[in-house]
Structure 1
């Protein structure tokens, strides 16, 4: 991996104070409708007959009219959360593809791009920023082994970037997320704390920074921001591939509902009467203390409670205990980043919780891509 040259507004002919994140008041997957509200809104929508999966988890799994062939499909979009337009495009693409990877689907047959160009921008800003976002999205499509072949572009008050990912595959090429058994463990493939990092990075240019400067330095915040950005732009493709190699019993990806929100959803889908207990939370270094101080000031990200929104987060993979460490080791060998065993599958009533003895794992920053 090598250092990336980040976006400089002045070098691109824009005002030195231009910030892409000023084009929205919500960031990334923090824009999601709350989980309980969403489930109520979606009541009554159809579910597939027989094999397959409809609304509720990461992707829909639908039988096609061709015997033995399934369509795996998902969509996602959100608002800017980093100031580098190119990296924002990559993050949006990685986020959409993660829903396929959570099903153990290693390939994507087609991507559609959804783009809302902010009406707040001047013509010059649109002409500079929009092509970079598109290029970032398309470059990560190529890295993932797919291509973008259409979509929709509109004018919108806030910038929107996302897409639709589709894969046509046979049953043995995807893994349904409902096979957990007592004694399994949960593995997480990316650290938490991205939403705190991108917010804190914006605070260092405001008076709000005074509330945090005794706890953390601007350099530490900038390092965490870069680590979050690179993590969000990294594909979960390796995890999807290794799910097959190590016989995963299911997975989900971590986005706007927070790690506990997504694991609760995963628990409800299980065939066996089991529950999930989280015993460790890997968090980007310094973000735990920033989140704690923010909560004292009335802005509670609920990081330790498991409900802090993440964008393009890692996979939570259900694995047998004897294979989990091998999975983590191979992820690190291939992607040069760690993965962690964070929880246990126990007999229960399809619920998820965080252990009272939960420990925080401080994840040091690897600011390369």
Structure 2
């Protein structure tokens, strides 16, 4: 099968069974070490979920503990981060059995997720056809939400956005994005089979358009993928625009589709007739909305965002806290 976009998909020596595997790690981006552990676990597992694999057989944990922290700080932070990672792994129906821990200057957490599957348990991300639509399962704007929250204590940066957003909205967006990042895409992976998805990818560090371009380039048919709608955490679009236009500002390139995300949603190519049912059932299962954000068109395996892309302000208080 070669290499999948989000996970490798390799035939094993046992006829009819494949190894679907992925690895990922990154640095902490939220203040709560327990939720950071959950976010790291969710981020790793999303690569399996993007392949339609809803069952992970084993997880390895990769942990770098900062030697620049005091012993007391390490004694508090490391166990909480490990617990968050383990707890979400258990919720995903898997467990951590091994890994590697090291001392180094940076705190790092991540893992390796592995699943042994028959061919009907995964969906290769190359089956999109013209007439399909693209569904997104989480809002974008996590990078802006995390940065804006940090800027509350950094007057130089807060001054760039204070005219377009309140501190209360920043806190709400930060909390909503934090819980969103800690939420599994597992239900979406299961529904990809029920609604006969033609492929998917998750939205992480390359931004929504970066990942859509990867998805487009892997298609078997001559199609292009076009985004017409961007659901964004409340207030974060205005904050991103203000930060970009400020003197010596920061351009997150949110509207252009290149703002980095962490543990974002899945972008799923699915027939137009089945997309609404997918969205409605996902909301019933997870209690959060999904959106039809784009179209699969005849084309040359490229991806784009419409110049007049519609921005949906997702109410931060409408996204329930991730309480498990």
TM range (shorter): over 0.9
* DSSP-derived class of the 2:21 partner: strand
Matched, 1:260 2:209: yes
Determine the structure 2 residue equivalent to 1:331.
282
Partners of 1:104 and 1:54 in 2: CA distance: 15
Q: TM-score, normalised by structure 1?
A: 0.85
Separation in 1, partners of 2:104, 2:242: 34
Secondary structure of 2:131's partner?
A: coil
Question: Contact 1:196/1:287 (CA < 8 Å) preserved in 2?
Answer: yes
Counterpart position of 2:321: 368
Partner of 2:125: 177
Give 1:53 shift: 2.9
Partners of 2:171 and 2:97 lie apart in 1 by 35
Q: CA deviation at 1:211?
A: 2.7
Residues 284-319 of structure 1, C-alpha deviation per residue, up to 9 Å, x if partnerless?
010001101111232111000000000000000000
| Cα displacement (A) at 1:60 | 0.2
Select 1:221's aligned residue among 167, 170, 184: 170
Q: Does the CA contact (< 8 Å) of 2:141 and 2:233 recur in 1?
A: yes
Which whole-Å CA distance do the structure 2 matches of 1:76 and 1:258 have between them? Answer: 16
Which whole-Å CA distance do the structure 1 matches of 2:167 and 2:77 have between them? 26
**Is the contact between residue 226 and residue 367 of structure 1 (CA under 8 Å) also seen in structure 2?**
no
Q: What's the offset of the Cα at 1:210?
A: 2.6
CA distance in 2, matches of 1:223, 1:367: 11
Residues 319-366 of structure 1: CA deviation (Å, up to 9, x unaligned): 000000000000111100000000000000000000122100111112
Aligned with 1:311: secondary structure? coil
Could you tell me how far 1:200 is from its partner in structure 2? Answer: 0.4
Rounded to whole Å, the distance in 1 between the matches of 2:290 and 2:202 is: 14
1:152 to 100, 106, 113: 100
Correspondent of 2:190 among 241, 265, 282: 241
Q: What aligned pairs does 1:299-310 form with structure 2 within 5 A after superposition?
A: 299-310=250-261
Q: In the aligned structure 1, how far is the partner of 2:144 from the partner of 2:165? A: 13
Q: Shift of the alpha carbon at 1:367?
A: 4.5
Specify the SS of the correspondent of 1:248: coil
**Structure-1 separation of matches of 2:298 and 2:164:** 41
Do 2:25 and 2:109's aligned partners in 1 also have CA atoms closer than 8 Å?
Answer: yes
State the match for 1:76 in structure 2: 24
Q: Distance in 2 between matches of 1:237 and 1:246?
A: 14
What pairs with 1:79-158 in structure 2 (closer than 5 Å)? 79-158=27-106
Structure 1 range deviating more: 351-360 or 124-133: 351-360
In structure 1, C-alpha distance between the alignment counterparts of 2:159 and 2:222, rounded to whole Å:
49
Considering only aligned residues, what root-mean-square deviation do their CA atoms show, in Å?
0.8
Structure 1 position 159, deviation (Å): 0.8
**1:70 and 1:171 in contact (8 A); partners too:** yes
Gap regions ≥5 residues in structure 2:
none
Q: Is the 8 A contact 2:288 2:320 kept in 1?
A: no
Alignment check: 8 A CA contact 2:51 2:199 kept: yes
The alignment status of 1:285 with 2:234, answered yes or no, reads yes
Alignment of 1:190-205 (within 5 A): 190-205=138-153
Work out the CA distance in 1 between the residues paired with 2:222 and 2:48. 26
Superposition map of 1:5-84 within 5 A: 52-54=1-3, 57-84=5-32
C-alpha distance after superposition, 1:139-194 (max 9, x if no partner):
00000000000101111212100000000010000000000000000000000000
Contact 2:213–2:302 under 8 Å retained in 1: yes
SS at match of 1:116: strand
Aligned residue for 1:292, secondary structure, equals: helix
